[in-house]
Amino acid sequence: MGPPGTGKGTQATRLSAAHGLRAISSGDTLRNEIHENTDIGRRARPFVESGGLVPDEVITEVMLAGIDRIPDDAGFLLDGFPRTVPQAEALDAGLTARGRKLDAVLDFQLDDQAIVDRIVSRLVCKKCGRTYNTRFHPPTSPGQCDNCGSELSQRADDSEAVVQTRLKTYREQTAPLIGYYGERGILRGVDASSSADVVEREISAIVRSLGKR
């Protein structure tokens, strides 16, 4: 967890590859359930197609469906979920019912101005979705994705005004999770101001300290 622009998606990809964890993105899982026309996918489809917010209970079921696709002995990480305390409570209940639990929650920490600076210089691959940053994590070839070679572009909502609104929403809705998971003793702070390689080493050390991988 952490504000937008702190590198969560980049590190989720790196962490899953380095430690054999299954990365479960809320957006990707939601799109997959809709594409597969599952029961939960059919319930979520109207909200997605209308541009509305997917209710807490529906997005929680979507994420639990993603977890159900993973073997019981495989580790996983969640990217972009939960976003609210009610979602976290529902996730805990769903994991308990499945005999599973969260071992750690990584809280990516970065001051607001640095977040704005990062996001307004962010580029995204139109094809595979991999993200880059012209200042902190540029592609090898300007304007071209290292992964698939497709064109990179800036998202329409990666403007300073929109970012400030998203930060406000994060502080109001998601930041309370810091206290929620802190009370459970599984919150781990991550200094997201360093380079992607340094942050990866820090979070890899956290995973190893759990004795899981």
Report the distance separating Cα 207 and Cα 197, nearest Å: 15
Structure-token pair, residue 79: 């990217």
Long-range contacts of 52-57 (CB under 8 A, 24+ apart): 54/30, 56/84, 56/86, 56/87, 56/90, 57/90
155 is annotated as an active-site residue: yes
101 is annotated as an active-site residue: no
122 is annotated as an active-site residue: yes
Structure-token pair, residue 61: 């079921």
213 is annotated as an active-site residue: no
8 is annotated as an active-site residue: yes
Query: Which residue from 65, 2, 77 is spatially nearest to 35, judged by alpha carbons?
Result: 65
Whole-angstrom CA distances from 132 to 141, 160, 178, 201 are 11, 17, 27, 19
In the three-class reduction of DSSP (H, G, I as helix; E, B as strand; rest coil), residue 51 is classed as coil
Give the N- to C-terminal CA distance of the chain in Å, as an integer.
21
The single residue of 43, 83, 100, 188 carrying the catalytic annotation is 83
Question: Which residues are tagged catalytic?
Answer: 8, 83, 122, 155, 166
